[in-house]
């Protein structure tokens, strides 16, 4: 695929100045994004070209997929961009193999590996604040998933793009992306994938302040997850369990609580506690985000003592990740510690946040 070769080659040689420009670049939104996806979901045109005979077998494809799994697991736990170049380099290698004449089932397997690596590269770029680059890798992953016949992972890629829109305060775009994924894969995805898509839908409703719609979509996510059977799901969605559902739901209740603390803050705190009870510090980035959310809930509830305690824990957890997203969430927690100089504990928590963010 020329797209993969060009994208990864330019990324591998990107210097610091170009990386800074990528960080500042904006992702495509609105109709331009949605219209472009319709094109990405079409079959790639078949072009005749002279290609070398490929020598890969099924074993090599499985080894490449194992590498893709390892990168995905590392990113899910720690986040950040420390291994971005390694992922992009592996993706570039897979693109090189696809430029050779592989037998059909090997080519299809390589496209699936490309989709998995592209999805991880997109997540790393997004988690590092590189929005345009993330979107390019999401589009690559979607095209590769389609070429590899993995429509379920294609839905997962679109869900990742929806999450990107939600973090960019574009809930209507996110909702349309989720509905596109649900429509395209109604019969082709497993219960966990259905549940994950419903949580993205619920997230968009929460961002819009549509409480009843949020509750409906969250209930549909719980119902879908209850149907999941161990060992019958793709490896890349195995993370989505009851703890993940609680963490995501708690975070969205917190979105609603910022506008109506009295109605939603206590429920948000209780739901986030469920996630923390199920996944400890080994959850890495998710653990840090849960603690930040719980600290904010406590501030909203007026429980400053508990809020300070959770803030300290959150900063400690954040220090063990490389996630820009975790640090961004800490910047949103920081204002709660301002204007309370009479409390030494709050002042110390504020200093902890400031010191971490300044490093």
Whether 147 contacts 118, CB under 8 Å? no
Closest of 151, 181, 146, 144 to residue 34, by C-alpha? 181
Do 122 and 8 share a structural domain?
Answer: yes
Single pTM value for the model: 0.85
Q: Is the pLDDT of residue 55 over 80?
A: no
Please classify residue 144 by burial: count the beta carbons closer than 10 Å to its beta carbon, then call 0-12 exposed, 13-18 middle and 19+ buried. buried
Here the CATH number for the domain that contains residue 346 is 1.25.40.10
Q: What is the pLDDT of residues 207-236, one digit of tens each?
A: 999 999 999 999 999 999 999 988 778 989
Evaluate whether residue 230 is within a structural domain.
no
Please classify residue 242 by burial: count the beta carbons closer than 10 Å to its beta carbon, then call 0-12 exposed, 13-18 middle and 19+ buried. middle
What total of structural domains would you count in the chain?
2
Evaluate whether residue 29 is within a structural domain.
yes
Final residue of a structural domain among 117, 149, 181:
149
Take residue 129 and report the two structure tokens written for it. 């604040």
249/80: higher pLDDT: 249
Residue 303's domain comprises: 241-359
Please classify residue 213 by burial: count the beta carbons closer than 10 Å to its beta carbon, then call 0-12 exposed, 13-18 middle and 19+ buried. middle
Evaluate whether residue 352 is within a structural domain.
yes
Rounded to the nearest 10 degrees, what angle do helices 104-127 and 84-98 cross at?
160
Do 1 and 143 share a structural domain?
Answer: yes
Strands, E assignment, 47-124? none
Residue 53 DSSP SS3: strand
Residue 83: pLDDT band (50, 70, 90) is confident
Evaluate whether residue 227 is within a structural domain.
no
How far apart CA 313 and CA 300 sit, in angstroms, is 18
Take residue 253 and report the two structure tokens written for it. 């209740």
């Amino acid at each position: 695929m020329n797209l993969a070769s060009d994208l990864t080659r330019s990324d591998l040689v990107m210097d610091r100045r170009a990386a800074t420009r990528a960080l500042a670049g904006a992702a495509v939104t609105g109709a331009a994004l949605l219209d472009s996806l319709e094109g990405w979901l079409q079959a790639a045109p078949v072009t005749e070209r002279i290609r070398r005979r490929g020598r890969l077998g099924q074993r090599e494809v499985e080894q490449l997929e194992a590498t893709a799994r390892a990168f995905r697991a590392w990113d899910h736990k720690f986040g950040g961009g420390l291994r971005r170049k390694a992922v992009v380099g592996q993706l570039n290698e897979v693109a090189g193999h696809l430029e050779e004449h592989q037998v059909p089932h090997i080519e299809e397997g390589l496209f699936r590996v490309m989709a998995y690596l592209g999805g991880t590269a997109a997540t790393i770029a997004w988690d590092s604040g590189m929005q345009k680059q993330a979107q390019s890798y999401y589009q690559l992953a979607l095209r590769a998933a389609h070429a590899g016949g993995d429509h379920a992972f294609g839905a997962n890629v679109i869900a990742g793009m929806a999450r990107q829109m939600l973090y960019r305060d574009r809930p209507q775009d996110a909702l349309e992306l989720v509905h596109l994924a649900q429509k395209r894969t109604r019969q082709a995805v497993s219960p966990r994938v259905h549940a994950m898509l419903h949580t993205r839908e619920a997230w968009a409703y929460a961002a819009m302040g549509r409480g009843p719609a949020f509750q409906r979509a969250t209930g549909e996510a719980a119902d879908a997850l209850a149907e999941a059977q161990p060992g019958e799901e793709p490896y890349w969605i195995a993370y989505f369990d009851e703890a993940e559902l609680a963490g995501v739901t708690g975070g969205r209740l917190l979105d609603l609580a910022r506008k109506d603390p009295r109605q939603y803050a206590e429920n948000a705190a209780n739901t986030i506690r469920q996630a923390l009870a199920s996944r400890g510090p080994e959850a890495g980035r998710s653990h840090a985000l849960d603690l930040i959310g719980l600290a904010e809930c406590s501030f909203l509830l007026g429980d400053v003592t508990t809020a300070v305690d959770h803030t300290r824990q959150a900063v400690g957890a954040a220090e063990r990740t490389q996630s820009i997203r975790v640090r961004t969430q800490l910047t949103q927690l920081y204002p709660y510690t301002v204007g309370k100089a009479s409390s030494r504990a709050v002042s110390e928590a504020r200093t902890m946040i400031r010191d971490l963010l300044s490093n």
